[in-house]
Structure 1
Amino acid sequence: MGSLRSLRQAAGSYFRLYERGASSSLRLMRNSNLKRINGYCAKPQESPKAPPYTYSHRVPLHKPTHWERKILIWSGRFKKEDEIPETVSFEMLDTAKNKIRVKVSYAMIALTVAGCIWMVIEGKKAVKRNESLTSLNLEKKARLREEAAMKAKTE
């Protein structure tokens, strides 16, 4: 998970640097229309309808693996594997993984509570049979002493 996040951050920083470089080169191209007369620069006459600079930010896309496709289906983002596009955004994958994490944590909470209830029921059954850890340990130690005594007699 950490490597995916670092890959995403690296891709984002790369695109920011690329956009900075692209915007500065666009500025240079716009300023290159200056007329050079005897080494001096003079501004050209600007038209009143100059096209505004448009900013378009593309989100980097990722081709999902087989496992990530299953995650997208389990999270409820898509109904069938055929509906998943060739490339998906990192945000969509992160959202799907977070939904799966939440579902798994809920399942673990339910299993933990069920296990606790089962242990309480088993403990109450053991009390009814007069079994406790102390009595079981004492019986085990007595059995081990008898076995050790038997071995000592045979040797």
Structure 2
Amino acid sequence: MLPVAQRLGFKLPGYRPSEWDKKMLLWSKRFKTKEQIPEFVSFEMIDAARNRVRVKACYVMMGMTILACLATVISGKQAAGRNENLTSQNMEKKARWREEAQREKEEAAVIAGKAQ
């Protein structure tokens, strides 16, 4: 025989939480342990837990962004104190490339001279 809910054509309100949903319920501090989570919970409870976890994740990302900005500013000030800047680095790199190209030309000329 079918359960009453199926015979009447409606489902009991509730949601069977997945493992991920259970973790969210724990992270949002709805329940203290996994054993306390009932078999069925309301959609509103799951939605509220997801929103709370989403907000916490946003706060963590904002904090990490601020820390990354501070680290960039500090490293930039340290580089400026050592007189390092992009212009001088680019000029040194291009000078090295020119020297390497000149050496390659000279080596090619020496090899061509020996071949004759």
TM-score higher than 0.5 here?
Answer: yes
Matched, 1:66 2:16: no
Q: Choose 144-153 or 110-119, whichever is displaced more.
A: 144-153
Q: Which residue of 2 aligns with 1:36?
A: none
Matched, 1:130 2:83: yes
Query: Residue 141 of structure 1: CA displacement?
Result: 1.4
Query: Residue 113 of structure 1: CA displacement?
Result: 0.8
Please give the TM-score of this superposition, normalised by the length of structure 2.
0.78
Structure richer in strand, relative to its length: 1
Residue aligned with 1:70, SS: helix
1:80-105 C-alpha deviation (Å, 9 max, x unpaired): 00001111122111110100111111
> Which stretches in structure 2 are left out of the alignment for 5+ residues?
1-8, 109-116
- How many equivalent residue pairs? 100
| 2:31 paired residue among 66, 75, 78 | 78
The 4+ residue runs of structure 1 with deviation greater than 3 A are none
> Which stretches in structure 1 are left out of the alignment for 5+ residues?
1-17, 20-57
Larger radius of gyration: 1
Matched, 1:150 2:106: no
User: Which residue type is aligned with residue 118 of structure 1?
Assistant: A
Larger RCO: Structure 1 or Structure 2 (Cα < 8 Å, ≥ 6 residues apart)? Answer: 2
Matched, 1:92 2:45: yes
Q: What percentage of aligned pairs have identical amino acids?
A: 48
Q: CA RMSD of the aligned region, Å? A: 1.7
Matched, 1:118 2:71: yes
In structure 2, distance between residues paired with 1:126 and 1:119? 10
Query: Residue 152 of structure 1: CA displacement?
Result: 2.1
Please give the TM-score of this superposition, normalised by the length of structure 1.
0.60
